[in-house]
Amino acid sequence: MYKIIGADKKEYGPITSAQLRHWISEGRVNAQTLARAEGTQEWIPLSAFAEFTGELGTEASATPPAPAAFKTGGDREAALRAVKAPAIALKVTAIVGLVVVALGLAMNILALAGIHFGMQQVSDPQMQKMFDSLVGSLGIVQDIIGAVVGVVMLKGASKMQLLQNHQFAFVTSILAMVPCVSPCCLFGLPFGIWALVVLNRPEVKSQFT
């Protein structure tokens, strides 16, 4: 009896050798299909089973290659470890930035209401009102942009930590590096560079989905 891993990455079986030979003849499985005999735990290519070499038109390997599933799993675990620290650093940058944005938003709203925090006063009340309106409005717009960037960075860092959407993670790293766009301005520059270096490693990039 045998079990196989289909093209859809699902496990099928147990099936008899006769059924497996029938699937080979139908083209449903091939020499590269991963399989294991009942009572064993190692997945190896079907071409490594001597009993099917005739149907496959191949010669049995003297030393079967390491199971592909194990290789992929090991590479993915290594990639997950590599992205964990820079992703967390980007998350911290985004969270700190969102806190700063929230404080700035509150202060700008109070400025619109005419409440000042050590800001220089203008002698003319009308000019003071216009000044408060301008500063408060521009500040609120900047805070909204900062909040949006912070949320995008937080989501992108989460995707990066899960090895999902490499382009999104790449953009997140760029945002962390751009002064006055990054939630923490220059504070995010080293973390963005760190994340980019890790994301550009071939062994990490290949594991993104």
Answer with the one of 65, 88, 112 that is the final residue of a domain.
65
Residues 169-197: tens digit of each pLDDT: 999 998 888 876 555 556 778 898 999 99
Q: Is the pLDDT of residue 71 over 70?
A: no
Q: State the residue for tokens 């099936």.
A: 15
Of 70-74, 87-91, 110-114, 190-194, the range with the lowest mean pLDDT is 70-74
Residues 141-157: tens digit of each pLDDT: 877 888 888 899 999 99
Q: Are residues 90 and 180 in the same domain?
A: yes
Interhelix angle 189-199/166-177, nearest 10 degrees: 150
Q: Are residues 145 and 176 in the same domain?
A: yes
Residues 97-122: tens digit of each pLDDT: 888 888 888 887 877 776 665 555 55
Q: Are residues 26 and 41 in the same domain?
A: yes
- The Cα 22–Cα 29 span in angstroms is 9
Amino acid at 147: A
The pTM (predicted TM-score) of the whole model is 0.54
Residues 1-14: tens digit of each pLDDT: 888 888 778 888 88
Residue 89 and residue 195 in contact, taking contact as beta carbons nearer than 8 Å: yes
Q: Are residues 105 and 189 in the same domain?
A: yes
Nearest Cα neighbor of 153 from 96, 102, 76 is 96
Tokens of 56: 């496959």
Tokens of 64: 């079967």
pLDDT at residue 185, rounded to an integer: 59
Structural domain of 161: 72-205
Residue 39 CB neighbour total at 10 angstroms: 6
